[in-house]
Amino acid sequence: MKLCRKLEMHFTTGIIKPYEMPRKVERQFDFSRYCRRHIALMVAYLGWDLDGFCAQNNSQNTVESKIFKALIETKLIQSLETANYSRCGRTDKTVSAFSQVLSLDVRSNQTTGVGVFEPDGYCPNEPKPTSRKTTPKSEELDYAKILNSVLPQEIRVLAWAPVERTFNARYNCTSRQYKYFFPKGALNLKVSTVVDFLHFSAIVALFSNFRRGTICVYFQLMEQASKRLIGEHDFRNFCKIDMSKNEIQSCVRTVFDVQFTKVNAGGLNSRTLCCFTIVANAFLWHQIRCIMSVLFAIGEGKEQPDVIEWLLNTELCPAKPQYSMVVGWPLVLYGCQYDNLEWHWKEGIIMECISNLQRTLVNFAIKVEIIENMMNSLLSLMPNNSTTADLNTTSILHPELLSHSYRPLKGRSVGKSLEEKIAKKKKQQLGTKRTTADDTTKQSLNEEEEEEAWRCMSSVMQLNGFEAVRIGKSMYRMRLMSWGQKAPGVGFFPCSGLKTDPNRRCQMADELFTNSSSRMSLPP
């Protein structure tokens, strides 16, 4: 016991310090030993708690930020600047995706194959470090497994595909499919039963080969209006135009198909979940949310179906009426189509993703049941003894429609047209260039005037027995040449006092030297 107490005292007093394991120095990863490969990644994510897909300067809670961090942490890329990165689409805050596609150059275990190339500084003769866990040369790196090991659970890489080096995830995409989920509520639509068969083999094939049997779906006002979106149109009145871009892109897009379906089984009532699917070659910023906003107004009977044609006609409606859009969390980027892409699937990755989704589904299902029981218990206290309540879709997804003084879109004030915005931006850019040029010219002229004034004033001072000493670029100091010191009461004065006409400069000098004992304030 005495020995233990002595040892404890030594440790507490610092006489004997416990042994500390030396920190292991991390070995620098040598990217020059590996070839690169241009690949495509299929990514799924639940964006409800994320700040959008694109990386932002003021937030790290984005899908791209987390993917970039995972790529660098797993040594698949050396830096984003050299990764030749591109993305298929940009999703807003709270928007999810089932089939977002990225393309980039990553480290490869192969020396030949589609998309494989030797980077600058490649050293093939250098032996690679051996390890028991090293992947055999005959197999490529399992990119999905590597990234999923460090990505958060709400972001999963489903598959990867080798592509040519010229492949671009954005420009090579032939079509994009979005789905917007919503409860029927009081919307004017009529839906028949939807039978949806989804097999495990379909999950493996995902978007390209799945088998789906769907019975016809019938709608009234909303269906009539949505069909008018099909075709090539100018969607400037169904989006938010980003004027921060250097060049304003065209707002013309081609919609291939639109469709309403019923999601859950059972009869059609206010609590029936429905899905609006739209397929197009590309989409504008907030385009689908603006479209759903107008369709909800039509379904509520506050707008007529022909308002779609009016908004698409840029001659009748050259500027967007002021209206709000629906919330973003029910929106999903469901698919991105490409020609001749061979996706590499792994059953283990798919089962892991299914397991994660099942856990999330169980959590939400239990929460839904708890909320529903609470709601029914409260409803039982109502006089009509109702057991169910109608869901008000507008209050959840589009609060603007709750207003009793709803104003039709055709009677609302409009903003500036696209042409007016472009002209204003060009004028601002031209004005900025002119201002910069004028400032440069003015600065040059001011320097020349200042030098001329300095020479004139200096000569007058010397005739009166003074000399001027220039201090920096904007101040002068006078002193008597005979005294070798600062003139009494004169001190410092700004250069701006010299920028007058020559006659005034001579008059100022005479006044200054006649009464040098008092301070004079030179005019600006």
By CB atoms closer than 10 A (0-12, 13-18, 19+), residue 298 is buried
Other Cβ atoms less than 10 A from the Cβ of 86: the count is 16
Non-local CB neighbours of 402 within 8 Å, separated by 6+ positions: 392, 394, 395
Residue 73 lies inside a defined structural domain of this protein: yes
Question: How far is 321 from 324, CA to CA, in rounded Å?
Answer: 10
The most distant pair of C-alpha atoms in the chain lies apart, rounded to whole Å, by 110
189: DSSP letter: -
Contact assessment for residue 192 and residue 183, using Cβ atoms and an 8 Å cutoff? no
Q: Give the amino acid at 288.
A: I
Residue 352 lies inside a defined structural domain of this protein: no
Residues 49 and 120 in one domain: yes
CATH number reported for the structural domain that contains residue 54 in this entry: 3.30.70.580
Query: Which of 92, 234, 242, 439 is labelled catalytic?
Result: 92
Q: Would you say the C-alpha torsion 490, 487, 446, 452 has a positive or negative sign?
A: positive
Residue 355 lies inside a defined structural domain of this protein: no
User: What is the distance in angstroms between the CA of the first residue and the CA of the last residue of the chain?
Assistant: 90
Lowest-confidence region among 94-103, 358-367, 424-433: 424-433
Residue 364 lies inside a defined structural domain of this protein: no
Q: What is the pLDDT of residue 468?
A: 59
Residues 158 and 181 in one domain: no
Residues 299 and 226 in one domain: yes
Strands 485-486, 475-480: pairing kind: antiparallel
Residue 357 lies inside a defined structural domain of this protein: no
Contact assessment for residue 91 and residue 53, using Cβ atoms and an 8 Å cutoff? yes
Residue 505 lies inside a defined structural domain of this protein: yes
In the block, tokens 């019923």 appear at: 262
Q: What percent of the chain has pLDDT over 70?
A: 63
Asked whether residue 203 carries a pLDDT value surpassing 50, the answer given is: no
Contact assessment for residue 56 and residue 7, using Cβ atoms and an 8 Å cutoff? no
The pLDDT tens digits of the residues spanning 381-397 come to 887 655 455 556 666 88
Residues 387 and 487 in one domain: no
Residues 261 and 388 in one domain: yes
Question: How far is 516 from 251, CA to CA, in rounded Å?
Answer: 73
The pLDDT tens digits of the residues spanning 222-240 come to 888 999 999 999 999 999 8
Residues 411 and 472 in one domain: no
Q: What is the pLDDT of residue 338?
A: 96
With H, G, I as helix, E, B as strand and everything else as coil, classify residue 299.
helix
Asked whether residue 501 carries a pLDDT value surpassing 90, the answer given is: no
Residues 186 and 261 in one domain: yes
Residue 131 lies inside a defined structural domain of this protein: no
C-alpha distances in angstroms, 144 versus 44, 156, 161? Answer: 11, 8, 10
Residue 375 lies inside a defined structural domain of this protein: no
Non-local CB neighbours of 123 within 8 Å, separated by 6+ positions: 32, 33
Range of the domain at 72: 31-125+136-162
Question: How far is 284 from 305, CA to CA, in rounded Å?
Answer: 22
The pLDDT tens digits of the residues spanning 130-141 come to 444 545 456 899
Residues 250 and 320 in one domain: yes
Exposed e or buried b per residue across 388-415, where buried means at least 16 C-beta atoms within 10 angstroms of its C-beta: eeebebbeebbeebeeeeeeebeeeeee
With H, G, I as helix, E, B as strand and everything else as coil, classify residue 426.
helix
With H, G, I as helix, E, B as strand and everything else as coil, classify residue 266.
coil
Q: What is the pLDDT of residue 370?
A: 96
Residue 92 designated active-site: yes
Question: How far is 123 from 101, CA to CA, in rounded Å?
Answer: 31
CA-CA-CA-CA torsion for 367, 370, 373, 377, nearest 10 degrees?
A: -120
Say whether pTM exceeds 0.75: no
Residues 410 and 428 in one domain: no
Residues 321 and 441 in one domain: no
The pair of three-digit structure tokens given for residue 269, joined into one six-digit string: 């009532």
Asked whether residue 77 carries a pLDDT value surpassing 90, the answer given is: yes
Lowest-confidence region among 117-126, 171-180, 462-471: 462-471
Residues 153 and 302 in one domain: no
Q: What is the mean pLDDT of residues 327-342?
A: 95
| Domain tally, the chain | 3
Residues 36 and 78 in one domain: yes
CATH number reported for the structural domain that contains residue 235 in this entry: 3.30.70.660
> Count of alpha carbons within 13 Å of 48, Cβ hemisphere only?
6
